[in-house]
Amino acid sequence: MNAAGHAGVSNPPHSQTQATLPGDYARVVALVVVVTGLILWASPPTALVAGILFALLIGHPFAHWNHKVTKWLLQVCVVLLGFGMNLPVVLRLGFDGSLFAATTIGTTLLLGRWLGRRLALGSKTSLLVSAGTAICGGSAIAAVSSVIGASEAEIAVSIGTIFLLNAVALYVFPLAGHVLHLSQAQFGLWAGVAIHDISSVVGAGLSYGHDALQTAIAVKLSRTLWIVPLTLAIAFRLSRQKRAEVDGSRRAKHFKISVPWFIGFFLLASLLSSYVPTISGWAPHLSEIARRGMILVLFLIGTSLSVRALRAVGWRTVASGLTLWLVISVGSLLAITSLHLKP
């Protein structure tokens, strides 16, 4: 081999590797230490803030895997939480709250469209923020974006806005619930309706109490199922509007809906726990594993924040998302307290 010939090419990468590896190892060690401490002792809000600070001050050593790991870990934790749920209660909450869900979702989407026009916000970004607020945050944004053909920039801005509001909700909702003396059931219903992502719904429920957590999960998951009719309605509308255009008709034929299949496994887990005594005996242990796992999920969600992502979120998008969130939060709270709605 020509050692001299390779030296000029390979030495810089080798020296660069030697220079960067210690830093990479240090970040991995820091990640392991922080995650271990959080899983053992931290609360959900603390985990989220720890993730944000870790990303901004140290940097995620496995950032390219973060989104996929977070997604799958969240879904596994939700399924495990299903073992601690009573299936008849879950189904009753879904059926009883269907009219309330349809009303709040429809109102949010209409208001979002009006706000988008008033703020001169892009129609796709406006729809993504509205869907994320109305149904279930990032999952709804991902599903709707696949139908309308949103760009990566539009998706990133929408998810960034929802992320910021979720972080606020994780702290504000439990505090407001205690100040307003909401019962466990009332808080669970409010959190399931007004908090965007299921991760923050679970985090807020964990902070408030076991019964609040169960109610919040059941309400949010039944609400998540509205992704399917919403995306179908949007696809149908697009196909009618663009039937004359070749690309529009092609999109109408080949659009894809991201169906939240993990909800089916959640219901199966709830079914087994409700009617199989052996499995129900393991429910407390599985629920505790899920609770610890959600701490890790919130930490990983926090690490996904970056300075560039914050800069990409303009004031118009934030104003639209914040207004929608305040309307659905205050409106649903008033309905729950004044009309004595129960889950």
User: Which sequence spans correspond to the domains of the chain?
Assistant: 26-338
Q: Are 219 and 192 in contact (CB under 8 A)?
A: yes
How open is the CA angle 121-237-248, to the nearest 5 degrees?
85
Distance, in Å, from the CA atom of 296 to the CA atom of 267, rounded to the nearest integer, reads 23
Nearest Cα to Cα of residue 158 among 143, 144, 141: 141
10-residue mean pLDDT profile of the chain (343 residues): values are 42 43 78 91 86 88 87 88 84 76 90 93 91 88 82 80 89 95 92 91 91 90 85 79 52 55 86 88 88 90 74 83 94 85 62
Q: What is the pLDDT of residue 194?
A: 93
pLDDT of residue 23: 61
Per-residue pLDDT, 152: 67
Which pLDDT belongs to residue 17? 41
Query: What is the radius of gyration, based on Cα positions, of the chain?
Result: 22
Least Cα distance to 296 among 76, 37, 57, 39 occurs for 39
Measured torsion, CA atoms of residues 150, 152, 154, 155, in degrees rounded to the nearest 10:
90
| Max Cα distance, the chain (Å) | 83
